C-alpha cells in the first residue's frame, strides 16, 4: 500500500517557521546559570577580599557578599519550585518521614545536634584566657610543634617551670599531636586571611587565644563523638533502645559537659577508651580474625596514648578473648598479636617516651607520688570512692542510681557482655578511689560506661514493668521509655543550660582586663598575680608579677608600682589551706581593712548568674601614674634641670650604696613643660672616676608604654630604670648621668649650658659578697 511521503521542507520554509515561533531559552537553564553565577560570585568575593575597589562601593564587600547570598537563595528556591512544584515541596518532609531508615535516624540526629549545641554553647569560656589550669600542657606544646616542627615533648620549655622539670611526659602525646594538626589548619586559614605571615610570633600572649577556640572545638567534637560511640556500642552490645537512652544520658551528663570545652586529655581519653569496644564485641562472639585482634590492640594503644589511666583497657580485651571461646582455644597467637598492636598504637601516639625513658620514668614517678603521697591541697580525701560517687550524682543523681542499678543487674545476670563491658570502668573507679588525690575530671573515661549501664537498667525496668500490665500498654513501651528518660535528664538539662549561659559571659579576668584598658592611664606599672590580667597590651602597661605577699604593702609604691592585681584563681589554695599568717594577710588585702598605702580600685566579683570565673581585685597604691602635683610623689633627691624646650628633670631616687653584681634601681621624675612633639629615649650611664662607662641602659620612658609625644604640659611622670651592675665592678664612687636622645639618629637634647647630659649624683659601689 502506497503512502504519500511528507514533503521535505526547504530552508526558506524553516526560516518562515522559526519566524512564526521564535526560540526562547528555557527558564530552568536560566535558573541553573543563576545558581552557578551566584556561587562563582561568592567565591570571587571571598578570594578578592583585599581588592581596593570594595572601598569605593557603598556598603563595601559585605553588601556584595549579602547580595550574592540572596541571589543564590532566590535562584535555587525558584529552581526547586520549577522542578517539583509547591505542593511536592511541601510533601518532601512527609515522604522522607515515611522512609523507615530516615525515620529511625531522626532520634540519633537530634541527639547528636543536642550534644554538639550544648558543648559549643560556652566554648568561649574565659577566652582569651585559659581558665582551666592544665590547658597549657596540651595547647602550648601543640603550638610549639607548629612553630618548630619538633614533635619531641622534651623540646618545649615552659617559662614557669625549671629547666630540669619540664613535665614533658606528664601526659602522653596523642592529643597534643591531634591539636597540632588543628593549630596548623588554623595557621593556614590565618595565612589565607592575611592574618599571619609566619609561625614566629604564634606563641605571643595576644596571639595564642586565636588558636585556643579551634583547639577547644576539637574537644567538643570528641565529646559529641563519645555520645555517638555510646549509641553505637549500646546498640550493638544490647539493643537500639539502650544505645539511644545511653547517648541521651551522656549528652546531659553535667561533668562530661563541662569538661568538653577544654583543651585537656580528659574528654578525649573517654572517647578513645570506649572506641576499642567496637571491635572487642566480635572477639567476645568468637571471632578469630587476626586483623581484628591487631586493630583492637592498636585502638587500645591509642587509648593509653591519650591518658596513662587507660592502660586498664587491656582487661576487657583479655576477658573477651577468654570468655568468647573454650579454654582449649585460649592459647594461640591472637592475644600476643593484640599486644603487638597495643604497643604499636602507644608508640605511634607517644614515640618519644621510648627515646627519653629516664625522663618518662621520672615524670611517672612524680605523678604517682603526687596522687598517692604528697597530695594536692584542696583536692584530697580519705574515702575518695564516696567523693567520686557524690561528684557523679551531684547533678545526675537519677542517672547515677540507674547506673548503679545496671551494674548490680550485670552482677546478677553474669552475661558475658556485661562482665566484659564492666571490667574497665569498675577497675578504673577502684583505682582512682585508692589514691589520696581526687580530681573529678579523671572520671571522664568512666562516665560513658555509666551512661550505658544506666540505660540498660532503665530499659530492663520498663520491659519488666510492662510485662505485668495489660497487653495494650506494650504498644506504648517506646513512649514510656522516652518519658522516663526525659524525667532522668530534666534537672541535669536545666543545670547544664544555666551553667552554659553563665559561662558564655565574660569572666572576671576578661572584665578586669577591659576595665584596665579603658580606665587606667597608659604607662601604669602593675604588679599582677598569676591567672589575672596577663594579656594586657605590653605597649601600654608595664607588668611584673608573682604572689601579692612576696613584698610588704609599702614596697609597691616605693618601687614604682601604681596598681596591685589579685587573682582568686592563684591565691585560693593559700587563703583556704595556708598558714594562719598567710590567710590573715590575704584576708586583709581582699576584704579589708587594707594595709596603709593600698586602696580598692575595683572588685570584679563572681556569681552563679552572669559573672563567671575567679574573682579579680585591683588595688591602687599611693603612687600615681601621672600627676601635676609634686606632693603625689616621694622625691628623695629634688633637682630642676631643663632638657631642650619641653622637658625637665625634677628629681631622682636611688640608694647611697649597693654591691656590685646587683641592680641600681634608679627612679627619675620628669615633668613636661610643653607638649613634646617627638618620642625620645632615655639613657642612663654609670661612670667611673675616669669618666668611663661602667654600665648603661637605654629605654624609652616607662618602657615605651607612655612615649613623650603623649606628655601634656605640667604632667609629672615617675620613670624607673633597673641598671645592672657587673659583678667584677671595682669598689668606689660612681657618677650617675642621664639624658634623652631622639632615635634613630641619636641627637641628644641639650641643657641651657650646652651640655647634653645631666649628672644626677653619685653612688658608692661595694665589693660583691
Give the angle subtended at the CA of 53 by the CAs of 50 and 58, to the nearest 5°: 110
Cβ of 323: how many Cβ atoms within 10 Å?
16
pLDDT at res. 400:
96
Residue 660, Cβ neighbours under 10 Å: how many? 18
Entry pTM: 0.80
Alpha helices by DSSP H, 559-692: 568-577, 580-591
Query: Do residues 619 and 599 make contact, with C-beta atoms less than 8 angstroms apart?
Result: yes
Distance of alpha carbon 676 from alpha carbon 535, whole angstroms? 30
Is the predicted pLDDT of residue 754 greater than 90, yes or no?
Answer: no
**Residue 18's pLDDT is what?**
47
Q: Kindly report, residue by residue over 618-675, the tens digit of the pLDDT.
A: 999 998 888 898 888 989 999 999 998 999 999 999 999 999 889 999 999 999 999 9
pLDDT tens for each residue of 278-315: 999 999 999 999 999 999 999 999 999 999 999 999 99
CB of 275 closer than 8 Å to CB of 229: yes
From CA 419, how far away is CA 170, in angstroms rounded? 32
Calculate the average pLDDT of the chain: 88
Say if CB 297 and CB 345 are below 8 A apart. Answer: yes
Judge whether 233 and 243 are in contact, CB under 8 Å: yes
Torsional class of 714: left (φ above 0), alpha (ψ -120 to 50), beta (otherwise): left
C-alpha distances in angstroms, 645 versus 128, 535, 642, 678, 749?
Answer: 44, 37, 7, 12, 9
DSSP state of 5: P
| Burial class of residue 611, CB neighbours in 10 A (0-12, 13-18, 19+) | middle
User: Dihedral (C-alpha) 484, 260, 507, 137: value to the nearest 10 degrees?
Assistant: 160
Check residue 479 and give its pLDDT.
Answer: 85
Of 14-23, 321-330, 442-451, 752-761, the poorest mean pLDDT is in: 14-23
Backbone φ, ψ for residue 598 (5° rounding) = -130, 130
Per-residue pLDDT tens digits for 204-251: 877 888 899 999 999 999 999 999 999 999 999 999 999 999 999 999
**How far apart, in Å, do the first and last CA atoms of the chain sit?**
133
Count of residues for the chain? Answer: 769
Single out the residue of 441, 631, 603 nearest to residue 511, CA to CA: 603
Amino acid at each position: 500500500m502506497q503512502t504519500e511521503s511528507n514533503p521535505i521542507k526547504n530552508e526558506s520554509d524553516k526560516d518562515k517557521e522559526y519566524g512564526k515561533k521564535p526560540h526562547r531559552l528555557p527558564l530552568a537553564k536560566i535558573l541553573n546559570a543563576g545558581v552557578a553565577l551566584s556561587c562563582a560570585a561568592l567565591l570571587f568575593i571571598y578570594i578578592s577580599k583585599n581588592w581596593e575597589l570594595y572601598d569605593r562601593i557603598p556598603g563595601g564587600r559585605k553588601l556584595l557578599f549579602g547580595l550574592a547570598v540572596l541571589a543564590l537563595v532566590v535562584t535555587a528556591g525558584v529552581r526547586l519550585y520549577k522542578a517539583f512544584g509547591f505542593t511536592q515541596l511541601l510533601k518532601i518532609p512527609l515522604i522522607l518521614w515515611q522512609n523507615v531508615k530516615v525515620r529511625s535516624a531522626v532520634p540519633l540526629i537530634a541527639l547528636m545536634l543536642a550534644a554538639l549545641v550544648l558543648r559549643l554553647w560556652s566554648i568561649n569560656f574565659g577566652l582569651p584566657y585559659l581558665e582551666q589550669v592544665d590547658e597549657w600542657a596540651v595547647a602550648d606544646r601543640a603550638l610549639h610543634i607548629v612553630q618548630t616542627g619538633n614533635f619531641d615533648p622534651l623540646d618545649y620549655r615552659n617559662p614557669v617551670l625549671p629547666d630540669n622539670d619540664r613535665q614533658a611526659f606528664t601526659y602522653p602525646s596523642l592529643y597534643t599531636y591531634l591539636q597540632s594538626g588543628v593549630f596548623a589548619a588554623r595557621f593556614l586559614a590565618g595565612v589565607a586571611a592575611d592574618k599571619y605571615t609566619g609561625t614566629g610570633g604564634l606563641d605571643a600572649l595576644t596571639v595564642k587565644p586565636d588558636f585556643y577556640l579551634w583547639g577547644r572545638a576539637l574537644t567538643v567534637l570528641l565529646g559529641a563523638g563519645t555520645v555517638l560511640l555510646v549509641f553505637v556500642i549500646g546498640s550493638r552490645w544490647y539493643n537500639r533502645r539502650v544505645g539511644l537512652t545511653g547517648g541521651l544520658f551522656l549528652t546531659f551528663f553535667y561533668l562530661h559537659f563541662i569538661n568538653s570545652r577544654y583543651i585537656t586529655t580528659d574528654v578525649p581519653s573517654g572517647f578513645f577508651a570506649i572506641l576499642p569496644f567496637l571491635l572487642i564485641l566480635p572477639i567476645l562472639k568468637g571471632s578469630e580474625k587476626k586483623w581484628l585482634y591487631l586493630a583492637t590492640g592498636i585502638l587500645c594503644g591509642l587509648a593509653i596514648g591519650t591518658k596513662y589511666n587507660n592502660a586498664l583497657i587491656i582487661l576487657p580485651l583479655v576477658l573477651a578473648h577468654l570468655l568468647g571461646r573454650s579454654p582449649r582455644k585460649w592459647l594461640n597467637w591472637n592475644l600476643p598479636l593484640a599486644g603487638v598492636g597495643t604497643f604499636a598504637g602507644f608508640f605511634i601516639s607517644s614515640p618519644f617516651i621510648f627515646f627519653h625513658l629516664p625522663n618518662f620514668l621520672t615524670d611517672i614517678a612524680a605523678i604517682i607520688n603526687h596522687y598517692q603521697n604528697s597530695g594536692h591541697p584542696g583536692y584530697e580525701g580519705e574515702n575518695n570512692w564516696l567523693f567520686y560517687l557524690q561528684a557523679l550524682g551531684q547533678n545526675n543523681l537519677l542517672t547515677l542510681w540507674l547506673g548503679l542499678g545496671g551494674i548490680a543487674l550485670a552482677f546478677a545476670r553474669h552475661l558475658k557482655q556485661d562482665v566484659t563491658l564492666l571490667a574497665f570502668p569498675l577497675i578504673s573507679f577502684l583505682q582512682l578511689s585508692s589514691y589520696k588525690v581526687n580530681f573529678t575530671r579523671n572520671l571522664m573515661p568512666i562516665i560513658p560506661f555509666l551512661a550505658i549501664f544506666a540505660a540498660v537498667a532503665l530499659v530492663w525496668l520498663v520491659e519488666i514493668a510492662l510485662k505485668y500490665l495489660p497487653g495494650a500498654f506494650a504498644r506504648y513501651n517506646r513512649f514510656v521509655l522516652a518519658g522516663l528518660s526525659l524525667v532522668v535528664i530534666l534537672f541535669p538539662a536545666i543545670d547544664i543550660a544555666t551553667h552554659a549561659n553563665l559561662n558564655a559571659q565574660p569572666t572576671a579576668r576578661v572584665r578586669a582586663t577591659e576595665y584596665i584598658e579603658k580606665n587606667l592611664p597608659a604607662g601604669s606599672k602593675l604588679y599582677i598575680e598569676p591567672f589575672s590580667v596577663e594579656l594586657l597590651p605590653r605597649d601600654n602597661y608595664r607588668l611584673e608579677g608573682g604572689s601579692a605577699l612576696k613584698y610588704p604593702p609599702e614596697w609597691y609604691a616605693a618601687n614604682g608600682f601604681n596598681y596591685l592585681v589579685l587573682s582568686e584563681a592563684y591565691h585560693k589554695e593559700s587563703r583556704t589551706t595556708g598558714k594562719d599568717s598567710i590567710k590573715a594577710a590575704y584576708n586583709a588585702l581582699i576584704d579589708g581593712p587594707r594595709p596603709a598605702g593600698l586602696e580598692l580600685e575595683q572588685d570584679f566579683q563572681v556569681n552563679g548568674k552572669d559573672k563567671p570565673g575567679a574573682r579579680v581585685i585591683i588595688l591602687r597604691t599611693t603612687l600615681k601614674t601621672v600627676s601635676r602635683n609634686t606632693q603625689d610623689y616621694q622625691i628623695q633627691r629634688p633637682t630642676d634641670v631643663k632638657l631642650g624646650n619641653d622637658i625637665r628633670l625634677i628629681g631622682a631616687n636611688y640608694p647611697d650604696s649597693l654591691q656590685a653584681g646587683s641592680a641600681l634601681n634608679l627612679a627619675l621624675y620628669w615633668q613636661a613643660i610643653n607638649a613634646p612633639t617627638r618620642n625620645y629615649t632615655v639613657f642612663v650611664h654609670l661612670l667611673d672616676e675616669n669618666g668611663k662607662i661602667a654600665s648603661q641602659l637605654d629605654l624609652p620612658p616607662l618602657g615605651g608604654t607612655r612615649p613623650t609625644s603623649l606628655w601634656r604640659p605640667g604632667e609629672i611622670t615617675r620613670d624607673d630604670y633597673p641598671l645592672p651592675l657587673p659583678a667584677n665592678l671595682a669598689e668606689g664612687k660612681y657618677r650617675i648621668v642621664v639624658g634623652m636622645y631622639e632615635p634613630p639618629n641619636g641627637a641628644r637634647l641639650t641643657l641651657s649650658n650646652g651640655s647634653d647630659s645631666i649628672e644626677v649624683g653619685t653612688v658608692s659601689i661595694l665589693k660583691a659578697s
